[in-house]
Amino acid sequence: MELNQTTLRGILAAVLSVDPKYVVPKQGNWWNPQDKEANIANWCAYQIKRNRPRTTPFYQEGSKKVNNATTPVNSVAVLKIAEIDLQFVGPQSEDLAQSVSMWPLRSDVKAEFQKVHGAIMNDEYDAISSIFHQDGGNTVMAWNVPNVKVLWYSILDTNQGPMPELTLNGNIRRK
């Protein structure tokens, strides 16, 4: 599994022990948890600012045994560092932002990032306050942790199997 905006959302929801709908991409046109109808106390916005490759790609060769049949498993991997921006909004936002500095010691955080072949790096965990504006409708205090770093392996299966079918505008394109 790759570390991307979708998988990060699930990881953060598990780490924060909240429903994934309260972990939202950091963009103004997304659902606003501060709406009166939402009626929630705390929530987290996130953004992967960048994924920097730190090694040249390298090949891995191996095999996998399934139902007494051995099949080759070949892949290419590259070590990357993801830089992640977190923003907490709500009455406990400061406590949540401060708690990020403890994540390297938490076994649940380690287990969640292992799902993407990664680990949280012991780096900067500055908790910075700011005014939160979304769509001009409200002004509340937010706490930001702007540079959480995750070291992870991006792995691509290189077994030359058939290309999957593509669906474009409802039409199935086969080659």
What per-residue confidence (pLDDT) applies to 123?
A: 86
Whole-angstrom Cα distance, residue 146 to residue 103? 15
The 10s digit of each residue's pLDDT in 74-96 is 888 899 999 999 999 888 899 99
Mean pLDDT of the chain, nearest integer: 83
Whole-angstrom Cα distance, residue 112 to residue 83? 17
DSSP 78: E
The first and second tokens of residue 148, run together, are 């959480």
The 10s digit of each residue's pLDDT in 107-146 is 999 999 999 999 999 888 999 998 876 655 556 788 999 9
The 10s digit of each residue's pLDDT in 22-65 is 898 887 666 656 555 555 678 899 999 999 999 888 887 877 78
